[in-house]
Amino acid sequence: MPFFVYIIQSQFDNSFYKGFSINPAARLIQHNQKESKYTANKTPWTLVYVEQLLSKKEAIIRERTIKKYNRAQIEALILSNNNIVNTFR
């Protein structure tokens, strides 16, 4: 079963949230329905980056790496060829 690392961007303040999931589109809905305490006050959110990984372990490691990125690195990642977000829109 594939896992995905995703980045969502707040339309409220343009901040980013990074996470992992087996279904990024469904997870986005949860964020926008305020089911996540951390993201509830910054709705609505837009899915801006998705990357597929082969295992949960790989996804967790990749998420931890991306969480250390600065804004410029995140924006470059969003524009990269690794981004498969269009398959979830």
Residues 34-79 pLDDT 10s: 999 999 999 999 999 999 999 999 999 999 999 999 999 999 999 9
Residue 10: its pLDDT value, please?
A: 98
Q: Where do the structural domains in the chain lie, given as residue ranges? A: 3-88
Q: What is the pTM of this model?
A: 0.95
**C-alpha–C-alpha distance, residues 82 and 6, integer Å:** 11
In one-letter notation, the amino acid at residue 64 is: R
CB 31 within 8 A of CB 23: no
| Superfamily of domain 3-88 in the CATH hierarchy | GIY-YIG endonuclease (3.40.1440.10)
Residue 89: its pLDDT value, please?
A: 80
What value does the CA radius of gyration of the chain take, rounded to a whole number of Å? 12
Neighbours of 66 (CB within 10 A): 20
